[in-house]
Amino acid sequence: MALVFLVLVALLLGFFIGRGKRGPTTVAALDTKEPQELSRDVVPDETPDWASAADISLAVDASRENAIVRASRIAGPSVVSVSVMQTMVTRRSPFLTRRGDDFFDQFFRDFFPPLAYRERIPTLGSGFIVSEDGFIITNEHVVHNAEEIKVTLPDGRQFDGELISSDATYDLAVIKIDASGLPAASLGDSDEMVVGEWAIAIGNPFGFLLDDPSPSVTAGVVSALRRDVKSMSSGGGIYKDMIQTDAAINPGNSGGPLVNGRGQVIGVNTFIFTQSGGSHGMGFAIPINVAKRVAKEIIEYGAVRGVWIGLSVQDITPFIASRMEIADPKGVIVVRLEDGSPADKAGVRVGDIIRRVQGEAVSNSNEAQRSLFGAGVGDLVTLTIEREGKSTEVRLKLEEVPKKR
């Protein structure tokens, strides 16, 4: 019995002594294990073709050649800097104190009315070439009251610019330089734009202040379409059907092109919403289809010809709807018609209710006017009218406003 006990004790001691010699399993211990031989398919003897330095360089270059780079390369050569010298008339009293002393300032204002001072002020803008012989589109507010216009091309050449004409309603202008063989921009179709596509703003925000005359590029997307925006200028007015983009449009970019991923101009950069003077992701551009029509009118006729329809309309108020027993107040009612006008020739009558213009439903006179925005002389306009409870369509051809009316 004692012998059996001694044997068991010896076995137990040997077991624990053996465990103590092995020690704990550690990360280092795992690392010292003999590595297994890997297949040649996993670790090849030679560097594969796709990992060569030349191919890697080509792959990096290909990744850099994106839509923005290509579009900038296509449109950039046609973008110009427009430097304008304007004369501004300001009125101030020569006796006002620089310290801002309210008592004396008010005294001089009461007894010495302010005098008019003329100051020559330089302003900067952008534009883009639309013909090889030097016609350039820009904003009207860039060249407003311009006494001197200088146009600088991306290659550094500078020309005197001639203002052909401008239109404040559209905020567009056409200037001309005496040159030939110029790189004209590719003009796209703004009616085909979709929200979310690339929008690339190109311009010269610093103009002649930089030694390098090449334009600057900012990128974003088309944020919204057909925005009607109230002008922040003292003259008021409304910008209609504007393109909204988050591409940075900085001061000096006005008049430059907004292009798509193909390098086609889809808009004319016009203004931003800002309180600091910088871009806050709310830029607006005039659709290129509007700019093309305005530029064509200016180049061919020297100005934008006014269109004539020959009718006046009134919103359908609750009072009018009640008196005329109009069930649906949406639309406008014709209240006056000019003899021999396009509307008269098309068969429109006083009392007709216009429900649609160019296929778009209109609820009031503002919407009806908006539906005709950008239409020009010679364009056909379709009106859906309601007369005595029946709906019909009439087509009229827009004419130029008669010289004597």
Structural tokens at position 274: 């800002």
Q: Which residues contact 163 (CB under 8 A, 6 or more apart)?
A: 143, 146, 149, 173, 174, 175
The kind and range of the H/E element at 142 are helix 140-143
Q: What is the spatial distance between Cα 292 and Cα 128, in angstroms, rounded to a whole number? A: 12
Cβ contact 207:152 at 8 Å: yes
Cβ contact 209:309 at 8 Å: no
Nearest alpha carbon to residue 89 among 114, 118, 115, 113: 118
Nearest alpha carbon to residue 379 among 367, 396, 362, 365: 396
Q: Which residues contact 253 (CB under 8 A, 6 or more apart)?
A: 126, 201, 203, 204, 205, 216, 269
**Catalytic (active-site) positions:** 141, 171, 254
Placement of tokens 């297949």 in the chain: 39
Nearest alpha carbon to residue 220 among 267, 183, 188: 267
Q: Which amino acid type is present at position 125? A: G
Strands laid side by side in the 79-92 sheet: 158-160, 146-152, 79-92, 115-129, 135-138, 172-176, 162-167
Cβ contact 52:113 at 8 Å: no
